[in-house]
Amino acid sequence: MITMAEIKNFPQVFKRLGFRRHAFAVYKAIRKNSPLSATEVIQATGLHRPAVYRALEDLLGAKLISTKKIGKRTYYVPESARRISELFTKDLENVSALIKKREAADVETVDSSMRIFRGPKGIRAVFDDVIDHTGRGDTFYRYTSEKDLAAVNRYLSPDYRKRRDRKKLERLVISNPESGKQKRPRLERFIKFIPPEASLFDQNIIQIIYGSRLALIDLNKEQALVIENAPLADFQKVIFKQLYRKL
């Protein structure tokens, strides 16, 4: 049986599991005072309504809480705290699968902050890293001058989109018109185009900025470079956002 005193030491656990900022505060309030309505959760935590509803959605999705009808109202109650251990076990299984995937790819470590990937498996590993390294609900940024969208999609793991959507990731994209207009409209994807008259944008190169990492993918040679450097990633994000606003 996990006590409330032990629960207080869980903020880092929730962060490691990829939950959004206020999920732990909402979980702690429900565990201490359940059953609680959404309004009561807001009062207990002092958080804004949108933040509470996002946290409730995440906690329900992870099966850390469940709903209970009392009269006509919906209340939230905690599930067994063992569920946290189960989530960690699943997370470790995902890490193990990722390591095997990386080992199968042709990866060269230049130093501790730089890796070179080669071949289709290497590029697939880079796309997977974008999902794995981007925090839940965060945004990643993509420049894409690909010549063949269908060819690029063949590099993606079968569950790439499912894992991306499960983490509720948004992406901003700067594309060439030919490739960008082939993409289906999605609520979480926002695309702007380099005007054809501005400059030729068909180098068949993709650059992705995500978390503290920067990935450069050369589709011509099927090679990719991933750099782990938070200041460099932040620098590139600033440049991307400025260009995106002006397009």
Is residue 128 assigned to a domain? Answer: yes
User: Token pair for residue 57?
Assistant: 């959605």
Helix axes 49-61, 38-45, angle to 10 degrees: 110
Rounded to an integer, the average pLDDT of 137-150 is 90
CATH at 179: 3.30.870.10
CATH at 39: 1.10.10.10
Rounded to an integer, the average pLDDT of 140-145 is 93
Higher pLDDT, 10 or 36: 36
Indicate whether 134 pLDDT > 80: yes
Residue with tokens 């009561």: 40
Same domain, 70 and 116: no
Q: Is the pTM of this model over 0.75?
A: no
Same domain, 27 and 135: no
Residue with tokens 């926002």: 190
Indicate whether 152 pLDDT > 60: yes
Indicate whether 227 pLDDT > 50: yes
pLDDT of residue 5: 52
pLDDT in tens, 171-223: 999 988 776 565 555 544 578 888 776 567 888 999 999 999 999 999 999 99
Reduced to 3 states, what is the DSSP secondary structure of residue 237? helix
Rounded to an integer, the average pLDDT of 136-148 is 90
Higher pLDDT, 113 or 189: 113
pLDDT of residue 246: 85
Q: Which domain holds residue 224?
A: 105-246
Same domain, 33 and 117: no
Indicate whether 161 pLDDT > 70: yes
Is residue 79 assigned to a domain? Answer: yes
What total of structural domains would you count in the chain?
2
Is residue 96 assigned to a domain? Answer: no
Q: What is the mean pLDDT of the chain?
A: 84
Boundary residue ending a domain (28, 49, 84): 84
Question: Under a CB-based contact definition with an 8 Å cutoff, are residues 126 and 216 in contact?
Answer: no
- Alpha carbon distances (Å) from 126 to 14, 29, 48, 93, 207: 25, 38, 36, 19, 11
Is residue 91 assigned to a domain? Answer: no
Helix axes 38-45, 23-33, angle to 10 degrees: 110
